[in-house]
Structures are given as structure tokens and as C-alpha cells.
Structure 1
Amino acid sequence: MNANVKNVNSIKMTDLQIEEKLSKNLIHRGMFKKLLPLITPVKYLILSVIVVEIFQVLTIFVRPWVVGFILDSGFTFAGDTVQLHHSVLALALIILLLSWILRFGLSGFSKYLTGITAVKVINHLRQKIFLHVQSLSIGYFDKTKAGRIISRADRDVDTLEPLLIQGPPELLSAILRCTLASVLLWHIYPPFFWTLFAIIPVLLTVTVIFKRISQKRWAKVAEERSRFTAHLVETVNGVKIIQQLNFLQKNQQRYRQLLHDFNHAIIDGSIRTSWFAPFTGILSTLGTAGLIVVGSYGYSAGEITIGQFAESIFYVFLFLAPLQELTDLFERYANGTACAQRIFLLLDTAPEIQDKDQAVYLDKIRGDIRFQNVDFAYTSKPVLQNFNLDIAAGQVVAIVGPTGHGKSTVVQLLTRFYDTQQGSVLIDRYDIKDIAQASLRQQISIVLQDNVLFTGTVLDNLRLIRPDASDQELIQAIEELGADEILQQLPQGYLTEVGTLGVNLSHGQRQLICLVRAYLANPKILILDEATSAIDIYTEQKIQFALRRLCKNRTCIIIAHRLSTIKEADKIAVIHNGAVIEEGSHQTLMQQQGNYYQLYNSYQENQLSEV
């Protein structure tokens, strides 16, 4: 037994491995080709930011030149006296003032351009992720935690902004300052350049090491963040069950452990990368000291002036300052690429269910349905095996059987939320794999046991199906289904806010709204999956009336445990172990005294015992 448990644990995949499998890509891969298209639409804005940044750098280099100009041209030495040239000083101060004004103006303009660019890029990326998430097949959501998807679309996208928008101009600024300072040092006194050039190989080597360590660190941090975000979302969605089961303390301990792992990842990564900033500081100090020594020899030998010496010291700081900024730039790069890898793991996940190139669009259908030799399994265990069922247009067919034997899977296949592994599902002799998904789902409406309502009023939820319908048209549909008596009793009638997922309404009230919504969609095929369970007798009577009205002139499939609700069905199909073992009307199957007969009698006994 222990060996079996060990074997199961050894093959269990982590959340990240599941996402990699669904994406058919590894998370650790280059991101440059993936990120480049994101900034292509705003390339002119980014180019403008770069141009502004170039001018900002030039204004910075005005100041060292002004210092050298004052020292070399602003004073005249005559014996022991020093004469100050006020015109030179005034000109230098004017140039310095103008450079500061220009720098502040350019800085503000750069921030403005950067802000516009960030809004465009990030909003476009959010919309792209949202659109992609909506297009993914249901199987993806069955296998992936909602919190991890939210983390990709929210926090990970935010983390990309400094990399995509602020990173390139700042990196360009650092490169320009280093390059221009190097050229000017060479122009003034070549030994200055060679003194600083000696530290470049060391800097490049440690930068590569730091980059690798930093990327691993932020990848770990991003993964741990996804884990506690996923747990938080699950807690919010399941808070009622958590409280009911008195699971608060254990759930809190689990969340505390996830936060501990997240904090540990940050701290451990910080320890591993904390050496880089002090190391660049040491390199800066050595470079400055080397320049002072070399400059002293050059000045004493008369090869440079005092102004050039002072000017060169400023250039050295302008050369070395970017080294201190590399820590932040590489941290930002590592964090951004780690999040980008996760975002594109989601974006590269293709929907499992896709339309064919020549998919058929059906304007009208009769509603004939055929399941032909269908095999299907969610995992390795088969759910449906050699499943066959014919449903004529306009027929009301009930599907019954024990829990877990494939009843709801029939619905999943008919709506093409999943595809069959063997066999085919046909509507009006069209294989549903040949029909465009949008066209297919326009012909089918589903009312589930736990239907979803969206935030808004009762009428708002109905208007999702008929956006241009007037209030009177929606109310007329409610009255035609006989749902008005119950829904009018709501606090604000049809203008009552239903709350998140319909939490302000009873189960029966939600079901009635969903039935009206299906009625407004006017489908040719209607699926009712446990639509009358867990409601009171009075509401059930109203729902039964609505169902009879709704099923008229439509092909209707009813899946129910409450067998009393399906006696009027044209045909009842009994499923056992993923196959149809009996078919016929209620009377016919009761006379045969087979599986349905046993199921129905068992149901009746349970009803009597509950009374």
C-alpha cells in the first residue's frame, strides 16, 4: 500500500507542470521575441521617449564642461593674484541654468510619454489575456486554478510595465552615459579611458553571474505568489463551505505557510543577490581612485589642465553611476521576464476545442441528435463507452442513471465543451466537429442546477441574451413562462440586484431567471441538467409549468435525479457505466421491470422515508 501511495505521489504534477503541459511549452525560454510585438504598436512613442532621453543625457554632460570651462577660462593667474572674469562666470551660470531648465522640462515630458505608452501597452496586454482566457476550452479551467489565471492577468502584467516601458529608456541612458563619458575621457586624456576600461571585463563577468541568479530568484518568487493568490481565490469562492466545516484554522495555517514560502523566496533571493551592489560600489571606488592617481601624474606632467582634471572626475562619476543602477535594472529585467514567461505560458495555450477551417454555420436546425459509438474519458478512466442514443427533433428525452456514470458528460459533449475520443455526435446529420462553435451554441441553451447570474438586476441578467430588448419585452417573457408571480415578490421586483453569482436570490428564483433567459435565447435544443433539484414544492410547480412552456416545439434533454419530474418525457434513457442499457417511455420501462424499474422504486421509497 505504501508503495502504491509513493508511486501516486511520484507522478503527481505540480500546478506549473500542468500549465506547461497544457501550453506544450517550457516556462524557461527566451522572451525577447515574445515581448517585442507588445511594443510594436507604440514604437513611435517609445522612439520619442528614447530621443528625449538622449537629449536629457546631453544636458547632464553640459555641467562637467561648464566646471572645466570656469576653471580654465574664468580665472587669470598673475603672480600671487587671481583675477576672476565675471563675463565667463556669468556665461557659465547662464548655460548651467538653461541646462537645468531643459533637463527638468525633458524629464517631465519623458514621464508623460512613458505614462501614455505604459497605458497603451498594458491595457492592450490585459485585453489580449482576457480575450484569450475567454476562448480557452472548459478543460483548461478544470485543470488550472482560478487564482493562478488571475495572477497572470493582474500582478504579472503590472510587473511587466517597468521592463517594457521604463527599462529600455533607462538602459539606453546608462549606455549613453558610459559611452559618451568614455569618448570624452579618451579625448581629454587616453590614460583616463584605459584606467576605467580595466574594470569592464570584471564587471561583465559578475553581471552575467548576477543575471542568472536573479532570474532564478524572481522565477521562484513569481511561482510562490501564484500559489498564495490561487489559495486566496479558492478561499473567497468556498468561504461558506470553509465556515460550515469549521475549517478556518487549518485554512489559515495553509495560507500562512504559503505566505511564509513566498517571503522565504524573496529573502533567500535577496541574500543571494545582495552582493552585487556592494561589488559595483567597490569597482566604482577603484575606478575613481585609479583616475585620481593617473590624473595627478598627468597634471603634474602638464599634459592636462586643472579644468580638464576636474571635468574628467565628473565624467568618471557619469561613467560609474550606471554601474550602481545595474542592480535595479537587472532586478527589474529578471522580475519582468519571470512574469512574462508565465503570461506567455497562458497565451501560448491553445484551446483544445477549435473550429475547422471550413466550419459550417447553421442558421436553422430541426433538432435531431445522434450519439454514435461514443467513447470519452476525462483521464485514463472511461466515462462513456460505446454510447449510442438517438433523439428525434422536438422530442423530450430524459437521461437517468447512478451518479458518476456519464449523464452530465453527455451534455458536455453535445455542447462541445469536450470532444469525443471515439465516435461522433451529430445534429441534423452534421457532425458537431464540423459546425462552428458559435453557431452550435446559438442553437443550444442549458439550464444547470447551479446556474450563474451576473451582478446587476433581474432585467440586466435577461438582457444579456437580448441586449436591445425593452423592459416590457423582457417582462412579457417572464409572464409567458409564469415566473412573474415569484419574481415580482422580490424587494424591488424586476429591478432587484441579484448580487454576485445571484447570492441575493433563492435557488428557485435563480432557476426561474435562467429559464426565462433560455426562453429569450429561443434555442432549438434545450438541456436541463438537474434544473429542478433542491427547491421547494411551490417553486417546483412554477418551474414545471415553465419547463412545459419552454420545451414546446423544441428538442429537450432532461437530466434529473428526481424521477417524478420526468414521467411525461417522450423517452427515458437509462445510463449505466457509460452506456445506454434501457430506452422507452415511463410506462414501458416500468412494465419491463429492469434497471429503471429498480431506480424508480428506490426513489419512491426514499421519498416516503423522508416524509
Structure 2
Amino acid sequence: MNGFRGDSALSDIELEETLSKRSLNQSVVSRLLPLIAPVWRPIAAVIGIELVQVLAIFARPLLIGLVIDRGLRQAGVDAPLIAWACAGLAATWGIRFALGGLSQYCAGLAAIRVLNDLRTRVFAHVQRLSVGYFDRTKAGRIIARADRDLDTLEPLLIQGPPEFLSAVLRLCLSGFLLWLIAPALLAGLAAVVPVLVAATFLFKRVAQRSWASVAENRSRFTAHLVETVAAVRLIKQSGRDRENLAKYQGLLEDFNSSLIFGSVRSGWFAPFTGLLTTAGLALTLVVGGRGLALGTLTLGELTQSLFYVFLFLAPLQEFSDLFERFANGTACAQRIFLLLDTEPEIADAPDALIPPLVEGRIEFRDVSFGYRPGQPVIRGLSLTIEPGEVLAIVGPTGHGKSTLVQLLTRFYDVDEGAVLLDGQDIRSFAERSLRSHIGVVLQDNVLFGGTVLDNLRLARPDASDEHLVTASEHIGAHDVLSALPHGYATQVGPLGSQLSQGQRQLVCLVRAYLADPSVLVLDEATSAVDVSTERRIQQALRVLCEGRTALIIAHRLETIRSAHRIAVIENGQVAEIGNHAALIARGGHYAALHASYEQAAGLDRTNAAPGEPLPAIANAAS
């Protein structure tokens, strides 16, 4: 799948098909049936209840026919018989109401379990997917799969089978009873069955394509909604809210058009079954009236036959709704299974290593990598970082600095060469174990909803509150965090939005300290912070770098002057490497970058010593 890293030429659904290596239009019946196997008991109860309700329904015409033929005779009215028949009718309706509620309870119980299990399965699978999948797939489409598409499966999996069984039973039993009373009536009604089967097959094909289009357009406007929420600040800042709204309205119009067009294409089925019902009733009246005139049918039998005709034809109309739900559910199920069929690109080997400790020696050995085929970002790069060394990585934007972090943490695998940790190819490590030894602090770290303590505990779940506060004190963040409105119990808000950039960064630095990694990666970790917390962040960085292998990626060159070595990355290769003073003296790529940076920043460093270290990592470099 390397050929589709970041590829946007394909449509969204084509890209999902490519990533899953499956076609969207796959049969899902064999995959849906195992989902209801764990809840066969409540499903069996629902089926049993439907059987009892069907028998109660068919008892009514029998009782009515009995009253007409025997209770209302010319010799007189049989009051006890009529009373018993009325009691029986009341009992059938009582059974209908009582069992209807019980059926809904059992079906709901099964639905909750099936959907919760499937939601959990989808959520767990989404967490297993590699980072590359999220780089290529819109978040809104993933949310649509795990939310709306799953909800659509409920009527298909739980309510659909019992209702379909009930319809088939009513159809068959009414046909059998009609044959017992008047075979001519059944023969006439049976003529509509082949027409119905052909119409149902056509309707199923048309409806499934229509609902697939509806599901796809729903995913598109959901994806746009999620992107808008994530980028709301940018939209407001750039004044693009009207244009963004217009795009959303366009996506809604596409959705509505597909919904209306689908309804138009499949809307003929209900009137068509209604036509069959009317024809069946007309045939019953003609044949039944003739039988009554000839004396081959009694009035009670004719009345029963009319009920049976209704019970025979009513399922034909119900099939319209049932097959529409089936088409809608199938379209959504296909998309869910497309997600579940997508395998992680990065997976542990069967004999993956789980080392308890690592020294922190890193080697990029002749590494080549590109997000798209034929467009390498890293080209034959070789670089070694010794245990405890602080290495700064600088270079122009887009030349592969942050890509090295992606490869080191194995969010992507190299195309050629190898990345080694303590002499072992990182592909031989278990992913969880590898990342537990590598701490990464980014410029825009993410906090989860909850308190400051909740976010710190992500790195050390078993730690007490006192231990977390002590770690914060040791790293120099306690004064800032304890000064929050509720101290460490302050709610950070969605993605940490209630904290300043500097406060969020301090929380992330404390979290990295608690994780105690052997290798520390700081990717633009000191930029975009407020001045009041900059010294504390520098102190935290100094503590973090002590005794660890550290990679510092930064555009602010003053933050990395004191590193043991500085590697200049250009065009995916190591253009230069050495300490600050040596690289400045060489007058090459680094010196040019440094001069451009100081000119752009307007800094006057004429009185500063060439190798003067900054407090951020001075002790770590000494």
C-alpha cells in the first residue's frame, strides 16, 4: 500500500477500497450473521413471540366466521357462543399488546448488545490502524462509520428478521387456510406471487444502489463538519465562514438530491404492491360472491376469506419497508466492513522483541522513504546518535526533519535501509514496547478532556496524585500548574483549549518526564510559547535531556546551539554535521541558515560568544 501514502487523486470511497484491498460492493450476509450469534436467545424469544402473535391474528377471522355462521342463525342468536367469541377476540388483542411490548424489549436488548459489541470492535480496530491511514482518510468519514452507519444496522439486524419471518408466516398460513376454504381464491392470488418476486428483486437492486449513494453523500457532509470544527479558528481568522457554509450547503444539496432521487427510483414499489392488493381483493369479491350465490361458500367463510386475503396481501406491502431497510443497512454495512477489512500497515512481527531497557543508541542506516511513489523525502540517509548525546536537526521546511521522527517511532516503515535502536532493527520491536522507550514532545501536543492530573496520569496510570505533583515540581512546572483556577484539578477543556500554549506544553513535558523514556524527541517543542513560561520550559527541557539520547528538531536556531552535534538535513540527506562553532566556521549550509535566521529575526549577537549555550539544554550538553 506504499503507493497510496497521501494520494488524493482517488475519490474518498476509491481510496477506502484501495486501503482495504476489497471492493465496496461485497456480499455482507455471511458477515452479518455471526454478529447475532451471541444474542440468539433474545432473538429466539422474539421469533417465538412473533409466532404466537401470528396465531393470535389468525384466531380472529376464525372467531368472526364462527359467530356469523353459528352465532347468528335464523333460529336465533347463540348468546353464549357470541360471548365466548368476543372474549376470544379480546384475548387476541390482549396478547397482541402484551407480547408486542415484550418483543420490543427482547429486540432492544439484543440490539444494544450487538451494536455495542460492533462499536467496540470498530473503535478497537480504528486504534490499531497505522498513522498513515489517518493521514489519508478524512476524520468525518471514520466517525460516520462508527456512528451513523452503525445505527443503521439496528433495524436490519434486530428488527428486520423477526418482522420478515412474521410476514412470511402470515403469507404462508393465510394461503394454506384459503386453500382449505376456497382453492379458487388461492389460485387467483397465487398468480400475483411471481410478479411480486420479480418486482422485489428489481426493487432490491435499485434501492441498494440508491442507499449506497445516500450513505456516501452523508459521509461527505459529516467529514466536512468535522473538518470545520477542527479548523474553526482558521476559518474565522481568514473570514471564510460564508464560503465554508456554501460548501457545506452544496454537500447537503448533493445528499438531499441522492435521497430524493433514490426515493423516486424506489417509490414505485409501495404503490405497485397496493395495486396487487386491490386486484386481489377484487378477485376475492368476484370469486367469493359467485361461491356464495352457488352455495359453495357460507357467509362466514367468505368473511374469513376476506380476512385471509388481507393477511396474504399485507406482507406484500410490508416487504417495501423491509427491503428498503435491508438496502440501507446493507449499504452502511459494506462501508463498515470496508473499514474493518483495512489492515494496519505497521504490524508486530510474530517474534517481536520487548526489551525492558534500552541504552538509546540510534542509527539511520542508508534510509530512503517517501510518502508517495517516486517522490522520496529521505534519500540514502545515514546518521548515528550515541547514547546520552543531544543531537539537533535543522534544515529547510519540507526536507525530511520531522519525517525522521515518523520513522524512528515507526509510524511509517522505511522503504529502503533500516532504523536501528541499540543495534536492533526497530521493525523487530513490538510497537508498544518501542514507543514506550521513545518520548515525543511536539509543538502542538494534544491534551484529552479531563483534569491536569488526568492528563499526567496517561503516562503513569498507577501513580498517586502526590507522585504526579512531585514530578511536576522536579521538572519546574509546579508553580504554573498549581496557579491554575483549580490547581491540578483544573479541567483542561477539549484538546486542552482552556490552557495557554505554554501551560499545555508544560503538562506535556511533565508527562514525558513521567514516562521516563530512554530516547527523547523534541519536535519544535519550544516554539509558540508565551514569554512568562519560557524559562520554566527551558528548565523542563534541561531536566528531560539529562541522561537521555535527545533529538531536537527546531527552526529557532538559538534553542539548539548548545547541542553536542547539529545535523543539517537538506533534500532528505545529511548535508553537514558538527557542533555549532565548527559549522559556523565551515561557512556551509548551517552558516547560511544561521545568517538567514538572524537576519530575519533581527537579532544582534555581535557580543555573544560563538558557542554560548542557552539554558534550555546547557547542562544536558555539558
Normalised by the length of structure 1, the TM-score is 0.96
Give the drift of 1:610. 9.8
Deviations 1:563-605 (A, max 9, x none): 1111221121111100112112222222222211221222222
Task: Tell me the CA shift for residue 119 of structure 1.
Answer: 0.7
Equivalences for 1:503-514 in 2 at 5 Å? 503-514=497-508
Partner of 2:67: 70
Task: State the Cα deviation string for residues 446-498 of structure 1 (Å, max 9, x = none).
Answer: 00000001111211110111222222111110110111222233222222221
1:194 and 1:12 map into 2 onto residues whose CA distance is 58
Q: Does 2:170 correspond to 1:177? A: yes
Is 1:49 aligned to residue 46 of structure 2? yes
* C-alpha distance in structure 1 between counterparts of 2:9 and 2:580, whole Å: 45
Equivalent residue number for residue 97 of structure 2? 104
Picking from 309, 319, 337, the partner of 2:330 is 337
Which residue number corresponds to residue 521 of structure 2?
527
Name 2:564's counterpart in structure 1.
570
Structure 1 residue 115 corresponds to structure 2 residue 112: no
1:303 positional shift: 2.3
Counterpart-to-counterpart distance in 2, 1:361 and 1:84: 90
What is the Cα deviation at residue 537 of structure 1? 4.2
Shift of 1:609: 5.8
Measured after TM superposition, the shift of residue 538 of structure 1 is 4.3
Range 402-411 or range 19-28, more displaced: 19-28
Distance 2:18 2:238 in 1: 34
Aligned match of 2:610: none
Residue type at the aligned position of 1:291: T
Equivalent position amino acid for 2:421 in 1 = I
1:350 equivalent among 343, 347, 357? 343
| Offset of residue 443 of structure 1 | 0.8
Give the total of aligned pairs: 598
| Per-residue deviation, 1:281 | 0.7
Which of 408, 428, 436 aligns to 2:402? It is: 408
Equivalent residue for 1:215?
208
1:137 is aligned to 2:134: no
Q: Which amino acid aligns with 2:50?
A: E
Matches within 5 A, 1:428-507: 428-507=422-501
Query: What's 2:299 paired with?
Result: 306
Alpha-carbon displacement from aligned partner over 1:31-71 (angstroms, at most 9, x marks no partner) = 10121121111122111111111111111000011011112
> Match of 2:191?
198
Partner amino acid, structure 2, of 1:425: V
How far, CA to CA, are the matches of 1:207 and 1:49 in structure 2?
Answer: 25
Q: Does 1:86 align with 2:79?
A: yes
- Structure 1 Cα separation of the partners of residues 323 and 577 of structure 2: 68
Cα distance in 2 for partners of 1:487, 1:109 equals 54
Rounded to whole Å, the distance in 2 between the matches of 1:290 and 1:210 is 26
Measure the CA separation in 1 of the matches of 2:297 and 2:354: 82
Equivalence map 1:420-435=2 (5 Å): 420-435=414-429
Paired with 1:183 and 1:376, the residues of 2 have a C-alpha distance of 71
State the partner residue of 1:168. Answer: 161
**Which deviates the most, 435-444 or 534-543?**
534-543
Structure 1 residue 26, shift from structure 2 partner:
1.2
Give 1:11 shift: 8.9
Counterpart of 1:255, as a letter, is Y
Indicate the residue corresponding to 2:393 in structure 1. Answer: 399
Q: Gaps spanning 5+ residues in structure 1: where?
A: 1-9
State the alpha-carbon separation in 1 of the partners of residues 462 and 8 from structure 2: 52
Asked if 1:587 is matched to 2:581, the reply is yes
Report the AA paired with residue 187 of structure 1. L
Structure 2 contact 270–320 (Cα < 8 Å) conserved: yes
Shift of 1:93: 1.4
Partner residue in 2 for 1:272? 265
Separation in 1, partners of 2:35, 2:562: 58
Matched, 1:385 2:379: yes
CA distance in 1, matches of 2:571, 2:21: 32
Q: Is the 8 A contact 2:63 2:89 kept in 1?
A: yes
Cα gap change, 1:573/1:199 in structure 2, threshold over 3 Å: closer, same or farther?
Answer: same
Tell me the equivalent position of 1:3: none
Give the partner amino acid of 2:351: Q
Partner of 1:32: 29
- 1:396-440 C-alpha deviation (Å, 9 max, x unpaired): 111111110000000000100000011111111111111110111
* 1:542 pairs with 2:561: no
Corresponding position of 1:5? none
Which residues of structure 2 form unaligned runs of 5+? 1-6, 606-622
Query: Quick one: structure 1 residues 568 and 63, their matched pair in 2 at CA, closer, same or farther if it must change by over 3 Å?
Result: same
Deviation at 1:280, TM superposition (A): 0.7
CA contact (8 A) 2:501 2:530 kept: no
> Quick one: structure 1 residues 307 and 536, their matched pair in 2 at CA, closer, same or farther if it must change by over 3 Å?
closer
CA distance in 1, matches of 2:225, 2:113: 30
- Note the alpha carbon deviations across 1:498-554, whole angstroms, 9 max, x for none: 111111111111111100000000111111000001224442222121111111111
Asked if 1:256 corresponds to 2:256, the answer is no
61-70 vs 483-492, greater mean Cα deviation: 483-492
Question: Secondary structure in 2 aligned to 1:385?
Answer: strand
Mapped to 2, the partners of 1:71 and 1:199 lie a distance apart of 30
Q: Distance in 2 between matches of 1:563 and 1:208?
A: 69
1:88-118, CA deviations, whole angstroms, 9 ceiling, x for partnerless residues?
Answer: 1122112212222122211111011011011
| Matching of residue 17 in structure 1 with residue 19 in structure 2 | no
What is the alpha-carbon root mean square deviation over aligned residues?
1.5
Equivalents in 1 of 2:480, 2:393: separation in Å? 29
Q: Distance in 2 between matches of 1:33 and 1:351?
A: 24
For 1:100 and 1:145, the matched residues in 2 are separated by 51
User: For the residues of structure 2 that align with 1:610 and 1:340, how far apart are their CA atoms?
Assistant: 64
SS in 2 for 1:527: strand
Residue 326 (1) aligns with residue 319 (2): yes
Q: Give the secondary-structure state (helix, strand or coil) at the position aligned to 1:349.
A: coil
In 2, distance between residues paired with 1:210 and 1:536?
63
Match of 2:363 among 351, 364, 370: 370
Q: CA deviation at 1:444?
A: 1.0
Measured after TM superposition, the shift of residue 606 of structure 1 is: 2.0
TM-score with structure 2 setting the length: 0.94
Q: Secondary structure at the match of 1:410?
A: helix
Helix, strand or coil for the counterpart of 1:445? strand
What SS is found at the alignment partner of 1:336? helix
Q: Distance in 1 between matches of 2:439 and 2:46?
A: 52
How much has 1:302 moved relative to structure 2?
A: 2.5
In the other structure, the counterpart of 1:359 is 352
Distance 1:97 1:485 in 2: 76
Match of 1:607 in 2: 601
Instruction: Tell me the secondary structure at the aligned position of residue 363 of structure 1.
Output: coil
The alpha carbon displacement at 1:357 in A equals: 1.1
**Partner amino acid, structure 1, of 2:426:** I
